Structure 1
């Protein structure tokens, strides 16, 4: 089993950004909390239209963002673990992906991380290790120590992206179950 950190290609494609900046509190509310019931489509715009770059299937900004095409392929896999939040954009259908599955899955004994001075809160991870029994079968999730940071995805998620030639996704291998053995 492999777990990948999902990110987005920022150099070869244009990306999206909110027309009006979100406050720190608004950004931090994407920590596994649900938003769909009170969601008004967020107005977004191209980040660097002057470069003339295409938009990818994952023109991420502060949240994962998927095109309609990417959503059509990935939604059957990820639906129970995310909220699909429509964005308001004149050039096509794009959706913010609010990851609502937050797992206490870190194997701290086999992870390498740096804590804040209090020695309790984690500042950053240098190496992730997960409890396989917790992450098995979960295609997309966040971890309780990094609720507003990266989403992690399974091999199955990555394979769907690759098989369907979805653009703009970047994956970094962060854990393999046999790495811990």
Structure 2
């Protein structure tokens, strides 16, 4: 089981009409009845266009990928056409909502009244994921998260489609012992980052150094420019890889942290 995440080499797309349904919340409800294609443009062409990344966070496919996947996911996904000058593209509206969270093993944040506020870690009950599932959402995070199974990854691998990052894994055999070992390695990696730091900088000074070509880190957070000169913000994941994004805004907590120089990632 995996998060559906684009890697840093996939094409990036910009929405032009912010009043269009494309800019609305995709929460698992059907949208095809009232859908009309909306104009989008290429923001960064990059290396791959199999799974373009719409910068507002919606998953997409080109026509060749859709042709392969449609027989497998037609009951789980709506393929909603987009208007692009060069490519035939579709945004994916995943309508397959499953109740499959293992609440006992998941790390749940709660509000003061005890109601759900978010997951620090989500664990799935694999017995509640029907055999033959390719793509799904859970109701708690349906507007922001899409999950795919090994069946989905198998199709991607067999057809050599490019542009996805399968580093965030949810394993049915992920025992408590494995979980504790992963946490130990993660804590050790954070300790190594902190032990080897030299001079520390405030956020504004660190940001200037990033523009000059440095990579800066603070705990699990890292920032640097990619090979195209874009500013990226990364968070260290439990598998010790970084999840990178072009931030729409900088979380205030990062502005208060001290930063130090580290080795650049290849992005």
Q: So what's the TM-score if we normalise by structure 2?
A: 0.60
- Deviation (angstroms), 1:127: 2.4
C-alpha contact (below 8 Å) 2:61/2:90 kept by paired residues: yes
Aligned equivalent of 1:136: 130
Distance of 1:35 and 1:122 partners within structure 2: 27
- 1:153 and 2:178 correspond: no
Aligned equivalent of 1:8: 6
Closer, same or farther: CA 24–39 of 1 in aligned 2, 3 Å: closer
**Structural RMSD (CA):** 2.1
- Of 91-100 and 53-62, the range deviating more from structure 2: 53-62
- 1:44 and 2:37 correspond: no
Aligned equivalent of 1:87: 82
Mapping for residues 19-98 of structure 1, pairs under 5 Å: 19-22=16-19, 26-28=23-25, 30-48=26-44, 53-61=46-54, 62-98=57-93
- Of 135-144 and 52-61, the range deviating more from structure 2: 52-61
Distance of 2:67 and 2:112 partners within structure 1: 44
Which gives a bigger RCO, structure 1 or 2 (Cα 8 Å, sep 6+)?
1
Closer, same or farther: CA 76–5 of 1 in aligned 2, 3 Å: same
Max Rg structure: 2
C-alpha contact (below 8 Å) 1:128/1:174 kept by paired residues: no
- Deviation (angstroms), 1:149: 1.0
Distance of 2:52 and 2:20 partners within structure 1: 21
**Offset from partner CA, 1:98-130 (integer Å, 9 cap, x none):** 00011111011011132344431232x232211
- Structure 2 unaligned regions, length at least 5: 177-267
C-alpha contact (below 8 Å) 2:76/2:95 kept by paired residues: yes
Aligned equivalent of 2:264: none
Distance of 1:132 and 1:99 partners within structure 2: 19
Distance of 1:134 and 1:12 partners within structure 2: 34
Distance of 1:153 and 1:27 partners within structure 2: 22
- Structure 1 unaligned regions, length at least 5: none
Number of equivalent positions: 173
- Deviation (angstroms), 1:69: 1.3
Distance of 2:19 and 2:172 partners within structure 1: 37
Distance of 1:23 and 1:118 partners within structure 2: 36
